[in-house]
Chains A and B, each alone.
Chain A
């Protein structure tokens, strides 16, 4: 019972914060006055002056798209070079060398695309310079680009008979100045107050109370204490649905996530902006019911996923009880004086409830940070996390991109519903025609295509199989999860798979690029085409897109595409493993 209260509190806090934030973001992106304007406006104006742009200058969808692509591409090259050359760059007290070219490529792509897939182990392979100047910056801008593209789409719905869908530079600037930077400052200071490290020192060492003797007889008497500017990066990796940890084990590391209050701050930050944007959407199209409908659809799937993972992890596996089959159980899995359940790969301070909630939030939101090891989840628990990514990251999804992905599904849904009743499909007063449909299909199918082709090819490469640390069905799940994570631009991992190989680095890198930029371009194309159209008045025959019927239909379409695409793959991985487990 107490755990149910815990899950409910997390969900209530999320909604209570998302609604006002949604309204705030809506004002900001329209250029309305907000309480931060006194500080923000001068910063904004300075940036526009340095860029030589007029705030009111509008872009066509093609120019908007070109700006977004150029911005990302130039940053990709910069980040690639930073990682490659970190050995000779400053702020490197641990004297870490540059990585291999393919790891640098993979990491650069991973951060540009808001994925934060980590083929590297950060505290051992990246310098403070790379983490700060390279990765932290990307965490901000990749999220800001997501928000900007979403607003371009919203303008497409709102505007009539025009070519302009906003200005890319203005949108990114506003997202940063009013939303991402202020929130990150608040969260990072909160995290430091809980014990997250924030300094530029070299790693410390401390005496071990009991020295350790390794297998080859060496006696180890000291423990390493990693340091660095962690809090500032963690705040934005949570808020921007990036997820790349300062430390290799991400937010399971006690220096990244020391207390349950720190955990609460980080966990709510995962879904805060994606959830808020649903309400922003409703506000800015001047029909809050539409935003609410999208929110309810996402929230429903979230709660179903949360329930199934929670039950699965609390019941754990028969193997965790130890001893031979059917003989006396050796291990106590009850909740008496402990969290109980499947504690492999979970931190004691978080227990089951706070680990599972995080796991579901992070895979729903395309965040990908973890506070427990998903590789060690029960087969069904791990499967649900994987499914959340396979659905195309539209259950809240990434900052901005989750919602524009979901709107792609909404367009698909009105089209299907339109076919059923024999009417021209329309959404939010705009006629949906073949062009929009084609683009919506690109939005919805980029992820499944990237995942299935990627993992399919990977499975026939012998070197991939050698990198698995679990055999059989679970090994396949590790590969499938890796590509689901890349294709969903999520970045979390079944970390047992050794992925730092040339083939996997490049394959996963391409997968991430495809899944990020195909839907983005298609969305902007839809925005451009919709902005040109006139509004059609709602009539008695217009299909409501805010009632329960539509919400149910939307959920059905999202699940249907997910199920049809992934059933065979999921059956070979987690389902097979589950059946072996209970056999």
Chain B
């Protein structure tokens, strides 16, 4: 019995020690180093121009206007977060739908047809899969190169600029594969749109 008591005391002390080391010292040390060396990145990679915050480079926004580059399909969530005055804030999540059901087929058909209708120049081309599917986070900031190029003609026409100008901007905000092989070549949707609007250059 006495030995159990000792063990209990040791265990409690051990819990205290591990909590302080792993739960306090470790995260504080990492925070300190991060804020010192990667201040911008540790705080959300916010795009700030002339004192105004235009979004995080890493969080997708929803674009539906013809003058903008569209991203992945977004499932809106305007119910979870609110600002101090109680106004709804935008957030998004994944669909968690199975891609093997007939309901899903109808959903994809509907989306693909709508996208073709908005991009009349591409009516004879199949729609890149990124444009009709939701992402894993629901907040995917990127889109594939194929999906971006699909929209060039539409954006150029609405904005009355040349397709080369749109392509240049897209290329400027395209990230290649790591070491040329890992991951995918992707376009940052928000940055392209801010550049199209002349906010980023």
Contact = CB atoms under 8 A, between A and B. Distances in A.
Interface of A: 2, 5-6, 9, 47, 50-53, 63, 66-67, 70-71, 74-75, 78, 121, 124, 132-134, 136-137, 139-141, 169, 172, 176, 181, 184-185, 188-189, 192-201, 203-210, 212, 214, 218, 220-225, 227, 229, 231-233, 235-236, 247-249, 252-255, 258-261, 263-264, 316-324, 329-333, 336-351, 354-355, 370-373, 375-379, 469-472, 474, 494-496, 577-578, 580-581
Contact of B136 (A198, A329, A370, A469): A370
B166 interface: no
B61 A330 contact: no
Contacts of A355: 136
A337 B146 contact: yes
Interface in B86-140: 87-91, 93-102, 104-105, 108-109, 111-113, 116, 125-130, 132-140
B182 A260 contact: yes
Contacts of A70: 7-8, 11
| Top-8 shortest CB links A-B | A260-B183, A252-B136, A337-B146, A338-B144, A496-B96, A332-B126, A351-B184, A319-B105
Contact of B94 (A196, A201, A345): A345
B19 A137 contact: yes
A200 to B, nearest CB: 7
Contact of A141 (B22, B41, B94, B125): B22
Nearest to A221: B87
Contact of B31 (A5, A66, A199): A199
Interface string B17-39: 11101111011011101110110
A377 to B, nearest CB: 8
Contacts of A50: 13, 17
B10 interface: yes
In terms of DSSP, what is the predominant structure of the interface of chain B? mixed
A71 B15 contact: yes
Nearest to B131: A331
Contacts of B13: 50-51
Nearest to B108: A322
Given A9-B181, A338-B145, A344-B134, A373 B42 contact: no
A349 B175 CA distance: 9
Contacts of A140: 18, 22
B136 A347 contact: yes
Interface of B: 4, 7-8, 10-15, 17-19, 21-24, 26-27, 29-31, 33-35, 37-38, 41-46, 52-65, 68, 72, 76, 78, 80-81, 83, 87-91, 93-102, 104-105, 108-109, 111-113, 116, 125-130, 132-147, 149, 175, 177-178, 181-186, 190, 193-194, 197
B30 A337 contact: no
Nearest to A235: B30
B41 A194 contact: yes
Contacts of A121: 80
Most buried by B among A263, A339, A342, A345: A345
A206 B184 contact: no
A346 B22 contact: no
Given A6-B182, A337-B144, A337-B146, A347 B137 contact: yes
A319 B31 contact: no
Contacts of B111: 322
13 contacts: A2-B181, A169-B10, A222-B90, A223-B89, A227-B43, A231-B34, A252-B94, A317-B100, A320-B133, A330-B108, A348-B140, A373-B95, A376-B98
